[in-house]
Amino acid sequence: MNILKYIEGVEVEDVIQEILDNIHIYGPVNTHDFERLSFIKKYHPQVFSLYEGKLMHLIGLFYKTTTPQSLIEEVYSIYADAIEEDTGHRFTPIQASAFRKISDKRYFSFSAPTSSGKSYLFRELILNTEEDIIIVVPSRALISEYIFRVKDMLKDDTSVLVLQFIENVNIYNTTRRIYIITPERGEDLFSKIGDLNIGLFLFDEAQISEERIRGMRFDSFVRRVDRLIPNAKKVFTHPFVENPQAQLLKHGFENDSAYARYNQSSVGKIYISESNKGFHYFSPFIDDKNREFVDVNYDLVEDVLINNGTLLIYISKNKIYDGTYITDYAKYIELCPKLDEEESILIIDELRSFIGASTALGDKHSHMIDMMEKGIVVHHGSMPLFARLLIEKFVNQGHAKICFATSTLTQGINMPFDIVWIDNFRFQGNENIKNLDLKNLIGRAGRSTPELNSFDYGYVIIKSRNVGRFCLRMQETTNLSESSMLDSSIADLDEDLRDVSEAIQNDTFDNDLHLTQSQVVRLSEAEINDHIQLILDNFLIDEKPITGKAYYEIENDTRSAIKNSFKQIYISHLRKNALTKGEASVLSVSIPILLWKIQGKSFKEIVSLRHAFLTNKDAQRNIQTRLRRQEILPSEAATLREKITIRHSTIATSLPDSGATTAGIFRRNTSIIHFDYDILVYDTYDYLDKVISLSLSDPLSAAFKIYHDKTGDNRALILRNYIKYGTNDDVEIWLLRYGFGFEEIEWIKGYIVSIDENEIVFSDEIDGLSDSRYELIERYV
């Protein structure tokens, strides 16, 4: 490909006609052709516009076409009408094909590019399926996006229950249910499966089956639901996979099934290498020997941002944490003025309130909020789910100019940009997963706009040193395994993973206690009654949890004994008899956070309490008191404050983890004046999510339930509720089961007359609620 030829306009009309003919004969499957079209539209828009309407017809983007202007356009328009008559929807050919196969078959597995219109197809399936639906996604980050989109599309139909966990509630007012879950949460389905009428399973991003442990759990879930609900449709989707039929073969879904691999493109890409902030066009579809690099001759990124375009920078988490992303991309950050739109300010204020950040410079100052006020967002896996949801809303409403993101963006989250700049080329997993993640990321470049007769394209920027590897991965294909890891040996697995692996293979989970049966046996046989009694005696006073302050006022020996008791209970469900130093350190840090959680503290309150402890607020107050009494000068107070160092707190990690270290979230002897509030926010969420919710909650809850069954001590059930739900209040537990968070429960509770699995009865006082608050509950009114 001679890039200069397209820039200079040599015979571009002939090239356009050649490409149109190719698309008519073979379909829109050649990404190299779309690259050439992108260059022609960029440099010769007037010539290109003469063919743009015809191109939209040939690509099959019928929702972007106008009245046919030629015979061939008329033919494609008739085809579009035929699709609509057949399916009842203005589908593209890809969407129509998938829709027909889903309608006709019990099993369907397909692969399609990121911009294939899968979201619209799923929208129509969700709106038109009359039975309950289970949507299985690979990450909780993707759950938040689905919840937002599904609730938005069903905002006028309050009879549909939409939840991110399996609960059968609001029975009197519900006609059908849509659950959006990860494979891990799928276990909750089997205790309630008899109460549901499931007609469709959507397994989105089903390539998770290639991961070792999560893939086994995914495959186990697929097989169990097919055995228990054989007549429900099962749909598997993947991006850029060569053999989607593998998903059917590995489970024996060969009868009443279909598969398809859709290679059709709809959005073009222009590829650029970068070195020392200099840009050069190149094509990944040309071999190394003939590859050319053409100077861009201007700052393309600056030009896009100035013209209201958007930029995604794929970056390492370390660069976000240490702030180097701000200095590395300062030139482009400075191009983003402070936002003044009311909608954007409302979202920013909601996020600031959620994390408890201060509104001015101070010890709770958030750089993340500072950036957001200029339309610059960060997005990574340690951000609280609610924060990620607000950021995705912020992006999709068009307020974001620049997004710095980690691998969470490769997990199917629908946040397209004009430019994708790949700063970090370290992708995780095997080569198949690395290739998929790269192609998924590239798929975010170029927004498919609703503008009629308009071909869309985006830019992909690669560091020059990575161009060779990039081109190889672009050309490599990705294949799924045709056999399930469920059918393979687990002898080579780490000891920490074997319990779950065996239970998945042998279907030996305890659905009520959310542990494997072997783990339940260990807890039942362990000598931990004295440990549980010590915790009950010290953690509960008059059936209420003690305060965080009271916990720190407990004598050191007793507090150490409590930590040891939690450790012994947790260890009892494992195959091993001791935790490593790193694991023990993580567990130690988690205990006061667990205590705050069971007290029903909001996220920002927990962050604030950790902040006060880590920055030694008592010592700071003492300095302020001496300053007010004029015992010291302001300069002396500043010096004394600077000498206070941040207390050590081990970085959160999931347990068990034999590789866990005792490394802290801040370097030792760091002054409190260098405290980074955002890092505390991220680490606190990791403790609540990775450590407490995913690692500790189930084994601790199971231990207290087993203890109650043995002793009849009702305090054990009370503490189990606090650990599992964060409360022992029946109304609050029901509200949690209805999908409300503690921040919402705090004000909703006062309007509840009665609540159970059948319905929520509200008082008449809800008529006085603000629109935003009423919106949250109107589905249940």
Q: Assess whether pLDDT exceeds 60 at residue 60.
A: yes
Q: What is the pLDDT of residue 32?
A: 93
Q: Across the chain, which distance is largest between two alpha carbons, in Å?
A: 91
- Mean residue pLDDT of the chain comes to 90
Residue type, 655: L
pLDDT of residue 260: 96
Q: How sure is the predictor about 468, in pLDDT bands with cuts at 50, 70 and 90? A: very high
Confidence bin at 559 (pLDDT 50/70/90): confident
Instruction: Compute the average pLDDT of residues 255-283.
Output: 93
For range 687-700, the mean pLDDT: 93
Residue 329 has pLDDT above 80, yes or no: yes
Does the structure show a pLDDT above 90 at 347?
yes
In this prediction, residue 151 carries a pLDDT of 86
My answer on whether omega of the bond before 337 falls inside 30° of 0, hence cis, is no
Residues in Cβ contact with 244 at an 8 Å cutoff, skipping those fewer than 6 apart = 109, 110, 111, 236, 238, 259, 260, 261, 480
- pLDDT, one tens digit per residue, over 188-221 is 898 888 899 999 999 999 998 888 778 888 998 9
Instruction: Give the per-residue pLDDT at 415.
Output: 67
- Give percent of the chain above pLDDT 70: 99
680 has pLDDT over 90: yes
> Is the pLDDT at 378 greater than 60, yes or no?
yes
| C-alpha span between 562 and 580 (Å, rounded) | 18
For residue 138, name the pLDDT band (cuts at 50, 70, 90). confident
| Predicted local distance difference test score (pLDDT) of residue 409 | 65
3-state secondary structure of 419: strand
Residues 6+ positions from 389 with CB-CB distance below 8 Å: 144, 145, 147, 148
Q: What is the pLDDT of residue 543?
A: 85
pLDDT higher than threshold 60 for residue 678: yes
Beta strands in 220-379 (DSSP E): 233-238, 257-261, 267-275, 278-282, 294-295, 311-314, 376-379
Lowest mean pLDDT among 277-291, 335-349, 688-702: 277-291
414 band by pLDDT with thresholds 50, 70 and 90: low
pLDDT at residue 157 is higher than 80: yes
Lowest mean pLDDT: which of 125-134, 244-253, 649-658, 772-781? 772-781
pLDDT computed for residue 410 by the predictor: 63
The domains found in the chain, sorted by start residue, are 1-92 (no CATH), 100-261 (3.40.50.300), 268-475 (3.40.50.300), 495-725 (no CATH), 730-780 (no CATH)
